[in-house]
A and B are shown apart, each in its own frame.
Chain A
Amino acid sequence: TQLLEQSPQFLSIQEGENLTVYCNSSSVFSSLQWYRQEPGEGPVLLVTVVTGGEVKKLKRLTFQFGDARKDSSLHITAAQPGDTGLYLCAGALGSGSRLTFGEGTQLTVNP
C-alpha cells in the first residue's frame, strides 16, 4: 500500500480550465512538498507546507495542507500547456525522516 495516494492518476484538460489534484494519507506528516516533473528531467520543487491548514499561492497554483496534516491539494487556475507534467507530492513523517513520494498525477493541458 502507498503511504501517499494521489488522485486522479491521469488528467487531460483544455487550456483555460481549472483543476484540482489531491494527495491523501492516513499518516500525519511533519511537512509535505509538491514537485513537478517534465519528461526526461528530474522533479523540481514547487512548494513546501508545514502547518496544518496552511494555504500557499504560487501565481496560478494554490496549495493547501489539511488541518490534520494528512492530506494536501493543488489547485491550478486557468491551466496553460506549460503546466503539463507529472505532479508529485512527497511527505516526511518527522524531522530527518525519509521523504516518500506519491505515484503522481500526470497532467496534460491541451492548447
Chain B
Amino acid sequence: EAEVAQSPRYKITEKSQAVAFWCDPISGHATLYWYRQILGQGPELLVQFQDESVVDDSQLPKDRFSAERLKGVDSTLKIQPAELGDSAMYLCASSWTSGGGYHGELFFGEGSRLTVL
C-alpha cells in the first residue's frame, strides 16, 4: 500500500540551529501539504503545494520557515533558526487534486517530531 514517507522521524536540536524535514508523497498526488501539530491539538496548515507551486502559505512564518517542492514530487520544509516554540510534530500529507465541490482525502505520513532545546 502506497504511503507518504517522512524523515527524520525524530529530531532534537538546539535553538538557533537549522533543521530540515523531507517528505515524499504518494505517487501521482499533485497536492502536498505541510501541517504543524502541537501535542494534543489539531494540525495547523503551514503550506500547500499544487505540483511545484505554492497555493497557500498564509500561515507559514516566512521569517524563519521555508518550503519547496522543486520538481513537483518530494518536498523539504526548513526552519532557520529554530526557536523553542517550534517544538511540535510536523506532518506531511498528500492528496489527489481537490475539486468537484468537496475536499479530497488527505493521506498523512507518520510525522517528524521536533524538540528544540
Chain A residues in the interface with B (C-beta under 8 A): 4, 6, 30-31, 33, 35, 40-45, 48, 50, 86, 88, 90, 92, 95-104, 106
Q: Do residues A99 and B111 form an inter-chain contact, with CB atoms below 8 A?
A: no
Contacts of B103 in A (CB 8 A): 30-31, 33, 48, 90, 92, 95, 97, 99
Total contacting residues, chain B, CB less than 8 A: 25
Interface membership of B100, Cβ < 8 A: yes
Kindly identify which residue among B41, B45, B93, B100 contacts A42, using a CB–CB cutoff of 8 Å.
Answer: B93
How far apart sit A45 and B41, CA to CA, in the bound complex (Å)? 17
Interface residues of B in 93-107 (CB under 8 A from A): 93, 98-103, 105-106
Contacts of B93 in A (CB 8 A): 42
Contacts of B48 in A (CB 8 A): 98
Number of A-B contacts (CB under 8 A): 73
Q: Do residues B42 and A101 form an inter-chain contact, with CB atoms below 8 A?
A: yes
Interface membership of B108, Cβ < 8 A: yes
Interface membership of B79, Cβ < 8 A: no
Interface membership of B91, Cβ < 8 A: yes
Closest to B103 in A: A92
The 10 closest A-B pairs by CB, nearest first: A42-B108, A101-B42, A31-B102, A92-B103, A50-B102, A45-B105, A103-B42, A101-B43, A104-B42, A31-B103
How far apart sit A107 and B91, CA to CA, in the bound complex (Å)? 21
Interface residues of B in 72-117 (CB under 8 A from A): 91, 93, 98-103, 105-106, 108-111
Least CB distance from A101 to B in Å reads 4
Q: Do residues B45 and A99 form an inter-chain contact, with CB atoms below 8 A?
A: yes
Q: Do residues B102 and A92 form an inter-chain contact, with CB atoms below 8 A?
A: yes
* 19 interchain pairs, CB-CB under 8 A: A33-B106, A41-B111, A42-B93, A42-B108, A43-B108, A45-B105, A48-B102, A48-B105, A86-B40, A92-B102, A95-B103, A96-B98, A97-B103, A98-B56, A99-B33, A99-B103, A100-B45, A103-B41, A103-B42
